[in-house]
Amino acid sequence: MGRFRELRASGGFVLVAMCLSTFTDNFVYSMVIPILPYLLMNNITSSDEIQQWTSILLAAYGAALLVASPLVGLISDRIQSRKSPLIFGYIAIAVSTSVFLFGHSPALLIIARVCQDREESLPPLAGEEAPLLPPKDGSKASLHLRDFVDMRFMTAVLSEITISSILAAFETTLPLFTMEAYKWSSTNAGLVFLGISLPSFLSIPLSRYGRDWKRRRTIAIELILAFFPLVALRITDGPSPSHQIGFIALVTGAGLFLTTSQAQVMAEVSDAVREIEVTRGVDPNQRSGMGTGYAFCNMAIAIGQFVGPLIAGYARLYLGWGGMTLVLGGTSAFIGLLSLIVNP
């Protein structure tokens, strides 16, 4: 029994538990993405409204995350054990996800999506905050919010908003696009996202390279390079097999640049916070500002998940598939160039 308690208290066990928590959170979220257009098709009479409602549903997720994340952080900071909110979050996710079984109207689907997100914010935040929150010793905080108004830190947060927006835009438009252009099923539409997620395994070797070179420069260059596959997606709207193969290849290329740069943004946030602490003469071993830094990063992800679906959905409705890909690619390249200019 004593050995089991030692194992449960070890850093490795906590890391594995939190990784499983994050996996569960993302799995439930991702499972809904490919089936949303098909679910809406069965509950909305006009096919012209499917893209609009898909955008609204995913934007509702981002808005709920933006509201729920700081609230969960405050609650977790005021209770001794984070085990209770973690378990409550899992139970609530199961209940809120089951609401989709009865989603026979867009309004009910929005309620299910918002409830699902508010509960999904519990497991990752309750788990991640434990090692990041400063000790409650009553001492004054090391860094104030105004200290984070730093060019390097704000550039990293802006990059996170951009990457999260584009990835959320893919989640909004790809399933419906493949259904309309290629007549794919929800299973095939879901498999497309492997092209976005699998390249993230290259984040570890690329992060080592970014450590030797300026990491922020690596992120900016990847955002600029993402412009090319994103814009090239405009030529894949034909039904032929060559168009479908090109579509998968370009989605994988965009996923490579976006997911690997997103992983490096997290490391850049850490480096930026450490630089701020050194500049302000703060001892990170006493009162680190890392928790606040990652809180800003989580908020940036939430903003991206709110803005991305709205921009992509309405851009596709009014500008078409080609216009939407140009907007996404242009945004990525612009932020990358801006990062190189203001923070070389």
CB-based contacts of 93-97 (< 8 A; 24+ apart in sequence): 93/24, 93/25, 93/28, 93/119, 93/120, 93/123, 95/119, 97/28, 97/32
Q: Which of 108, 131, 154 is the last residue of a domain?
A: 131
Structural domain contains residue 291: yes
Structural domain contains residue 137: no
Q: What's the rounded Cα separation, in Å, for the pair 55 and 168?
A: 10
Cα radius of gyration rounded to whole Å, the chain? 21
Query: Do both 321 and 198 map to the same domain?
Result: yes
Does 41 score more than 60 pLDDT? Answer: yes
In which band, very low, low, confident or very high, does the pLDDT at 130 lie, cut at 50, 70 and 90?
A: very low
147 is written with which tokens? Answer: 């200290």
Looking at residue 139, what DSSP letter applies? Answer: P
Residue, of 16 and 232, whose pLDDT is higher: 232
3 state SS of 83: helix
The owner of tokens 């965009």 is: 254
Looking at residue 135, what DSSP letter applies? Answer: P
Query: Do both 60 and 100 map to the same domain?
Result: yes
Does 30 score more than 60 pLDDT? Answer: yes
Query: Do both 271 and 167 map to the same domain?
Result: yes
Identify how many contiguous H helices and E strands the chain contains and give both numbers.
15, 0
In which band, very low, low, confident or very high, does the pLDDT at 140 lie, cut at 50, 70 and 90?
A: very low
Neighbours of 156 (CB within 10 A): 29
Look at residue 139 in the predicted model and tell me its pLDDT: 43
Structural domain contains residue 158: yes
Query: Do both 48 and 114 map to the same domain?
Result: yes
201 is written with which tokens? Answer: 């395994």
Q: Is the model's pTM score more than 0.85?
A: no
Q: What's the rounded Cα separation, in Å, for the pair 156 and 154?
A: 5
Looking at residue 134, what DSSP letter applies? Answer: P
The owner of tokens 């990835």 is: 167
133 is written with which tokens? Answer: 């929150």
Query: Do both 94 and 150 map to the same domain?
Result: no
Q: What's the rounded Cα separation, in Å, for the pair 163 and 223?
A: 8
Does 44 score more than 90 pLDDT? Answer: no
Least confident of 28-37, 92-101, 156-165: 92-101
Structural domain contains residue 6: no
155 is written with which tokens? Answer: 């550039």
Query: How many structural domains are present in the chain?
Result: 2
Query: Do both 206 and 313 map to the same domain?
Result: yes
Looking at residue 45, what DSSP letter applies? Answer: S
**Which of 15-24, 268-277, 290-299, 320-329 is predicted most confidently?**
320-329
Structural domain contains residue 63: yes
Q: Which of 64, 98, 131 is the last residue of a domain?
A: 131
Q: What's the rounded Cα separation, in Å, for the pair 292 and 312?
A: 30
Neighbours of 106 (CB within 10 A): 16
Residue 213, H or E segment: none
Residue type, 281: G
Structural domain contains residue 149: yes
Look at residue 137 in the predicted model and tell me its pLDDT: 47
Look at residue 234 in the predicted model and tell me its pLDDT: 92
Structural domain contains residue 227: yes
Q: What's the rounded Cα separation, in Å, for the pair 261 and 58?
A: 23
Query: Do both 114 and 153 map to the same domain?
Result: no
Query: Do both 164 and 192 map to the same domain?
Result: yes
Query: Do both 307 and 185 map to the same domain?
Result: yes
Q: What is the DSSP string of 140-183?
A: PPS--GGGG--HHHHHHHHHHHHHHHHHHHHHHHHHHHHHHHS-
Residue 283 CA: distances (Å) to CA of 132, 273, 288: 15, 12, 7
Q: What's the rounded Cα separation, in Å, for the pair 104 and 196?
A: 31
Residues in the chain: 344
Query: Do both 88 and 184 map to the same domain?
Result: no
Domain housing 64? 11-131
Q: Which of 72, 97, 131 is the last residue of a domain?
A: 131
24 is written with which tokens? Answer: 């569960």
Q: What's the rounded Cα separation, in Å, for the pair 92 and 96?
A: 6
CATH code of the domain containing 183: 1.20.1250.20
Query: Do both 123 and 148 map to the same domain?
Result: no
Residue 141 CA: distances (Å) to CA of 136, 306, 318: 10, 31, 48
Neighbours of 113 (CB within 10 A): 26
Look at residue 212 in the predicted model and tell me its pLDDT: 58
Q: What's the rounded Cα separation, in Å, for the pair 223 and 284?
A: 31
Structural domain contains residue 139: no
Query: Do both 164 and 199 map to the same domain?
Result: yes
